[in-house]
Amino acid sequence: MPKRTPDGPPPPPAVQRLRIRYAKRGRLRFTSHRDIQRAFERALRRAAVPMAYSAGFSPHPKISWAGAAPTGTASEAEYVEIAVTRRVDPTALRASLDAALPPDLDILEIVEAATPSLADHLEASVWQIELPEVEPAEARRAAEAFLAAETVEVERLMKTGMRTFDTRSAVVSLNVLDSPAEAGHQSRSSACAILRVVVRHATPAVRPDDVLTGLGSVSGLVPPVAPRVTRLAQGPLVHGDGLHGAGLTSQTTPGAPANAESAAGSGAWPVADPMALDRSASANSGPSSINTPVSGV
């Protein structure tokens, strides 16, 4: 039998792809990724963005999500890509989309896509884990034990059942910051250990809570208070020369606090900016031809 197709003309083709970096802050860290998706889709409609849609009997907007942070964690470096049927000004789109989103879901940057796949650039994440009521010295001993181990296996319940996997192989670096000021905070009256962890994206994904479970298994460290976790950056891992193989530089880390580079120790982040190539391509193209504002805003 011939393949059925919907009546009417096909949807307009996509003429521009836009990459968006956004932050998930405050109470919205407890929002599920599915709820974040719904909020974005509603905001795109409110901002009258000329979205491209898939063909078929159930068209859906062409939105590609990459590397979403787990529920319960904040993030300064979340990424999504959208396709539109009419070229729009990224600056105007950022303003209109940010106004349409709820507080604590903030648009940080929008650039026109210049590389094939954003997800391929997201190789690792920089996580900051605050452990209230844990002394830094205790956290440092736990980190040393974790890094000295060849493997640190943990268990997690997944859709297919309980699974055991190694967390040590995914951890590129694990440091305990010397003071809260290094993490962008004012001094605290009580103890609070702050970890800076670089985790390689793997299958299955190793999450910050898996790292904490691994720390507990090798050292007995069990935080008495729920940790506060924030993703500071995600992108390609940086080689020793400060460059990723694709030419992305490590000089700008998305969403990081102003003093975060000094807190990293060497002054250079271990992951590069995944939108650096897109930004560079836009800068080198001369005066932008993307001069149509988002309609209806």
pLDDT in tens, 122-180: 999 999 999 999 999 999 999 999 999 999 999 998 888 899 999 999 999 999 997 55
Return the residue matching tokens 């969403």. 255
Separation CA 185–CA 208 (nearest Å): 20
Structure confidence by residue, pLDDT tens digits, 226-269 = 999 999 999 999 865 444 444 444 444 444 443 333 333 334 56
Burial class (CB in 10 A: 0-12, 13-18, 19+), 92: middle
The closest alpha carbon to 82, from 144, 28, 42, 40, belongs to: 40
Cβ atoms of 161 and 149 within 8 Å: the answer is: no
Looking at residue 286, its pLDDT comes to 54
Structure confidence by residue, pLDDT tens digits, 108-117 = 999 999 888 8
Mean of per-residue pLDDT scores for the chain: 84
Structure confidence by residue, pLDDT tens digits, 63-100 = 999 889 999 999 999 999 999 999 999 999 999 999 99
SS3 call for 234: strand
pLDDT at 188 over 80: no
Separation CA 70–CA 151 (nearest Å): 23
Please give the C-alpha separations between residue 203 and each of 152, 159, 274, in angstroms, as whole numbers: 16, 14, 20
